Amino acid sequence: MIPLAASGKIIDATGAAPRIEAMLPIGVRPRQLTVRTLLAGMCLSQADHRPAHLTRVHQALVSLPEDDQRRPGVIADWKHGPHQLTYRQTEYTFALAAGAAGKDEPDGLPSDQLQGICDDLLEASIPDQFKDASTSLAVDWTDLESFSRPPPARGGPCADPEASWGHRKNNLLRSQDELSCGYYFSAGIMMPDENGPAVPELARRATVSSCRHDPVRALVPVLTRMPDQGIPLGDVLADSGYAHRDAGAWALPLRAAGAQLVQDLHPHDRGPKGTHDGAIIANGNLYCPATPRTLTELGPLSRDATPEQAAAHDAKTAELAVLRTASSAASPATTTTATTASPAPRPWARSAARCARHR
């Protein structure tokens, strides 16, 4: 468990607490639980590997030593003596902060100010000696289940109206995905640069979106804002779930922001599919998704073939030989991919992010 002072240092470095406090209504008497203490309790609960429940935040604060409780106001002197923070007070401050930082009409995506606060907190948690140690990120998403089902089809109240049904991979032998109700959590983790020093795998950016939103499109604006914040993008390692998107949803905005994409080729983009002009280079291998079917089905010439048929057969055979030997020939650097319509990614073996794959 990290010390309370370390959490306070991270929170103070971002200035997030005063920003949120300025958005909250002013009551007749001051609240015992401040936003700074609430954020510290959230950090403590997660650092102690507790579930992300508000009750766990309250437990993390009231289980601190007495001196640590008095400094942030968990124990306050009231008219009739010391008063320890209650869960109802924790819930009240959290509801005020969530309402102030959220959207007027929730749509399953964080507001710009809420995402900015989360970005600042994650960036402040990275030690100074590692902030410029790497520009490479490994990205992925996972499901976060909600404790509430989505609203019924015919409408009605719901404890978590932004939650939605989504798909997740199962750990069973069958290949079918499972349904889950809740959110998608996406994160960008620091990885060593190509030929660079080892770096700790720290979360540098993260976002949460409802399952009715594409998690890839939800993460793109979070990553593309990093260069404007003084954090250049290098290699971005992703699996085939990110590659299997249209160019405008993933590849083009990231490459425009300076990122180098290193990603697996989706199974749907392999084999004799697409057009011959869509031949792609991925992970150092040449793929021709568009080998003409008339060539793949080329068979032996019949004995009674005419000279014209023999000449056509010889031409097709020569064309197929060119396709088969293309992988050993030098390919132009601007070969376009079927999935991104942009310069092909660098070979896997030369990527710094391969460290994560073989770890």
Question: What pLDDT does 126 receive?
Answer: 92
Question: What pLDDT does 322 receive?
Answer: 66
Q: Report the DSSP pairing between strands 136-145 and 235-238.
A: parallel
Question: What pLDDT does 352 receive?
Answer: 43
Question: What pLDDT does 287 receive?
Answer: 56
pLDDT < 70 stretches in the chain = 1-2, 153, 170-176, 266-299, 320-359
Residue 176 CB neighbours (<10 A): 8
What backbone phi and psi angles, to 5 degrees, belong to 259? Answer: -80, 150
Question: What pLDDT does 39 receive?
Answer: 93
H/E stretch holding 206 reads strand 203-210
Q: Is 163 helix (H, G, I), strand (E, B) or coil?
A: coil
End-to-end CA distance of the chain: 26
How many angstroms separate the Cα of 65 from the Cα of each of 10, 31, 50?
A: 20, 21, 18
The pair of three-digit structure tokens given for residue 120, joined into one six-digit string: 């600042």
Domain ranges of the chain: 4-101, 117-263, 268-338
Question: What pLDDT does 336 receive?
Answer: 38
Q: Is 200 helix (H, G, I), strand (E, B) or coil?
A: coil
List the one residue out of 262, 270, 279, 267 whose CA is nearest residue 332. 279
Question: What pLDDT does 154 receive?
Answer: 72
**What single-letter amino acid sits at 36?**
R
Question: What pLDDT does 293 receive?
Answer: 57
